[in-house]
Amino acid sequence: MLASDCRNPWAALRTTVWIASLLMGWVGLVGCSVRNNADLLEARLRHQEDELRRLQSRLEEKEAELAEARRETQLLRSKLQQKDSSLGADQITLLAQVERLKINTLLTGGVDRDGQPGDEALSVFLAPQDRQGDVLKVPGTLRLTLYDLGQADREKIGSWTFSPEQMRQHWHRGVLGTGYQFELSWQKPPKSEELVLHAELTTVDNRRFQATTPIRIALSPVQTAVNKQ
């Protein structure tokens, strides 16, 4: 204690009280900080526990879906092997994965064969796909129907059917796409540039998948002149 404090005990007492107050305040601040950190940590732990339970629930759901898919695949494999013993296990597995039929609109449209104005045929590019959009090479019967929007009641101007064996011959894997590719001559020349293509694939397990898309083609000058008459 300073000499001046010895001569003035009241000043020494005030100094002691001031120091004690500072210490108590510091302890209080430290205690609040510790409590706040503990509360924050508990909140984070509760959030992580909730997230863990949610992920666990989703995992159980996916495992149940996977188990069901395996049971369906096994049942499908058994039925198809009884119906068609030529199908391999890989083909049966692919059949079970088919979710939709997709027409590749970038590779589907009119074809100019002679280099003159106007299209003489139709190019069609399509493929079965799984849930993720991956292309599947599966056997089936394909029916393609072409309609002309420029004729009364959307008149049908073409119809083609391909067996599973014929489809295998049209399988194409290229830079721009993978799937079944067909080039179809007009069965009845279109009168309009606006056509509609409808595709239906019936797989060997008797499931049907359909797809429809509009198509714009180029008419020949002769056909254009006939339309104007």
CATH number at residue 154: 2.60.40.2550
pLDDT band at 2 (very low <50, low <70, confident <90, very high): very low
Is residue 166, in this structure, part of any structural domain at all? yes
Q: What is the spatial distance between Cα 91 and Cα 77, in angstroms, rounded to a whole number?
A: 9
105 plus 213 within the same structural domain: yes
Which of 30, 53, 83 is at the close of a domain?
83
103 plus 50 within the same structural domain: no
32 plus 67 within the same structural domain: yes
Number of domains composing the chain: 2
56 plus 127 within the same structural domain: no
Q: Which two tokens stand for residue 2?
A: 């300073």
pLDDT band at 94 (very low <50, low <70, confident <90, very high): confident
Global pTM reads 0.62
Which of 31, 60, 83 is at the close of a domain?
83
Cα-based distances in Å from 218 to 114, 121, 185, 190, 229:
13, 10, 14, 10, 18
Is residue 90, in this structure, part of any structural domain at all? no
Question: Which DSSP string corresponds to 175-196?
Answer: SS-EEEEEEEE-SS--SSSEEE
Q: What is the spatial distance between Cα 71 and Cα 85, in angstroms, rounded to a whole number?
A: 20
198 plus 155 within the same structural domain: yes
pLDDT given at position 54: 86
127 plus 180 within the same structural domain: yes
Is residue 187, in this structure, part of any structural domain at all? yes
209 plus 103 within the same structural domain: yes
pLDDT given at position 49: 83
SS3 content of the chain, % helix, strand, coil (to 5): 45, 30, 25
207 plus 149 within the same structural domain: yes
Give me the residues paired with residue 82 across strands.
none
Pairwise pLDDT comparison (53 vs 183), residue with the higher score = 183
Pairwise pLDDT comparison (181 vs 228), residue with the higher score = 181
Domain, as residue range, for 14: 1-83
Is residue 91, in this structure, part of any structural domain at all? no
Is residue 159, in this structure, part of any structural domain at all? yes
